[in-house]
Amino acid sequence: MIKHYPNGVPFQENVTAQSGSSFHTAPAQENVIYGNRGMSLEQEINLSNKYYLENGIAVIHKKPIPIQIVDVNYPKRSAAVIREAYFKQASTTDYNGVYQGHYIDFEAKETRNHSSFPLNNFHDHQIKHMKACEKQQGICFTIVRFVTRQEIYLMPSHLLFLYWDNQSNGRKSIPYDQIKKESYLINYQINPRIPYLIGVDQLIQKLKMP
Amino acid sequence: MIKHYPNGVPFQENVTAQSGSSFHTAPAQENVIYGNRGMSLEQEINLSNKYYLENGIAVIHKKPIPIQIVDVNYPKRSAAVIREAYFKQASTTDYNGVYQGHYIDFEAKETRNHSSFPLNNFHDHQIKHMKACEKQQGICFTIVRFVTRQEIYLMPSHLLFLYWDNQSNGRKSIPYDQIKKESYLINYQINPRIPYLIGVDQLIQKLKMP
């Protein structure tokens, strides 16, 4: 029987013995970081972006949630309070910014599916937006986390477009094997936690090739 | 005495006589458009961005206002209502996007000042953000409207940085003459109303020069 820590990480009785003198090896480190400490993919990407920003590597931000404000109170001597507002559907993707002269634009999505990534994670206007950005030579992709596999991929948008545009064939998801083959696996690190710009570098190299 | 229409446009008694047979000449047209029909600079830029997007010229959006949500109601059978939220200070500029492979980042500001543009239109983090974007080869600028002059300039960020970084000298604004000399005048058009990408083209050309 596998026991678990309260944070969901499996308890390994022999982990101390195993790591012992090899405290800095990759597997031991990965075990710790894979626990995620309850962080969502979004939180981890935000932290990674903070690292990239503070180290002058890239300027990439999550966009605020679009909101329709209906009523605002302006109390004396304190901050304005929004008293009635509604969530609006975003017309673009969640993240964008600039990296070494490249415009960067992406979505971040998690799935508990094991063998495919469902296309209903996207809205039509997000696909339209990414297509428009690519036409302007922007670098567009999705960061996909397969929760049950503990794997993160940087999936180039051409793969997403291919399956999106052929949904009428009946296939409503992108097979895991296809993503694994055509995307860039992003391994967790200490800092930045999700070093996705490594995948961006590879994608840019590939796009440059004739 | 000058009379005004309810929308603030000055009434010109002789305008019909003047335009008469020259309905399509530039001056008459400009009179109409300069009235702005009560539109803010922001609304006009949003319309221009819509034109650029729909015509496949560029993908540039205004970012949503950042908000700290405290309380949300989820009524049955209707949309979630935000019942308590506060405005947060933006950590970036208002607009960004991609145009012909270039990352574009800017603020839009109006001033009723006649002879200078006050630096208190900006916050420190916006300047920081623009500097970080330029380091990544982004194209950064401010669209400045001098309301009393009915003139719009695309002001490159280097001019803003110059005056911002030297505020300790006591000068808290950028002189109009300096802006006129170092920026790109954007003339109103029918569509897009503010064709600021013409100024961006000129700025990119200039940045390319050694």
Please name the member of A56, A64, A136 whose beta carbon is closest to the beta carbon of B67: A64
Residue B98 lies in a domain: yes
Model pLDDT, residue A22: 37
Q: What helix, strand, coil percent values describe chain A, rounded to 5?
A: 35, 25, 35
DSSP secondary structure letter of residue B139: E
Q: Do B103 and A102 make contact, defined as CB atoms within 8 angstroms?
A: yes
What is the percentage of chain B residues whose pLDDT exceeds 70? 82
pLDDT in tens, A153-209: 999 999 999 999 999 989 999 999 999 999 999 999 999 999 999 999 999 999 988
Mutate to test the interface with A, among B136, B157, B197, B208 (most CBs of A within 10 A): B136
What is the number of structural domains in chain B?
1
Banded pLDDT at B114 (limits 50, 70, 90)? very high
Mean pLDDT of A60-69: 93
Model pLDDT, residue B185: 98
Residue A18 lies in a domain: no
Residue A145 lies in a domain: yes
Output the six-digit token pair for B43.
């609304």
Mean pLDDT of A107-112: 96
Q: Do B99 and A59 make contact, defined as CB atoms within 8 angstroms?
A: no
Residue A4 lies in a domain: no
Model pLDDT, residue B78: 86
Average pLDDT, chain B: 86
Contacts of A99 in chain B (CB under 8 A): 136
- CB-based contacts of A172, cutoff 8 Å, min separation 6: A118, A119, A120
Pairing of strands B67-73, B81-87: antiparallel
Model pLDDT, residue B173: 97
Banded pLDDT at A56 (limits 50, 70, 90)? very high
- Asked whether residue A15 carries a pLDDT value surpassing 50, the answer given is no
Q: Do A136 and B98 make contact, defined as CB atoms within 8 angstroms?
A: yes
pLDDT in tens, B184-208: 999 999 999 999 999 999 999 999 8
Model pLDDT, residue A21: 38
According to DSSP, the residues that pair with A145 across neighbouring strands are A110, A152
Closest residue on chain B to A78 (Cα): B86
Output the six-digit token pair for B108.
């839009």
Banded pLDDT at B85 (limits 50, 70, 90)? very high
CA proximity to B45, closest of B129, B154, B170:
B154
Residue A19 lies in a domain: no
Model pLDDT, residue B2: 53
Other CB atoms within 10 A of residue A89 CB: 8
**DSSP codes, B96-125:** EEEETTEEEEEEEEEE--SSEEEGGGS-HH
Model pLDDT, residue B123: 93
Choose between A9 and A173: higher pLDDT.
Answer: A173
- Here the CATH number for the domain that contains residue A167 is 3.40.1350.10
- Asked whether residue B155 carries a pLDDT value surpassing 90, the answer given is yes
Residue A45 lies in a domain: yes
pLDDT in tens, B93-110: 999 999 999 999 999 999
Model pLDDT, residue A39: 84
Output the six-digit token pair for A66.
């679009």
Helix locations, B109-175, DSSP H: 124-135, 157-165
Residue B145 lies in a domain: yes
- Asked whether residue B21 carries a pLDDT value surpassing 90, the answer given is no
Choose between A28 and A73: higher pLDDT.
Answer: A73
Q: Do B80 and A64 make contact, defined as CB atoms within 8 angstroms?
A: no
Q: Domain of B179?
A: 39-63+92-208
Pairing of strands B184-185, B67-73: unpaired
CA proximity to A58, closest of A92, A86, A19, A100:
A100
Model pLDDT, residue B8: 53
Residue A78 lies in a domain: no
Contacts of A54 in chain B (CB under 8 A): none
pLDDT in tens, B30-42: 444 444 456 899 9
Model pLDDT, residue A54: 97
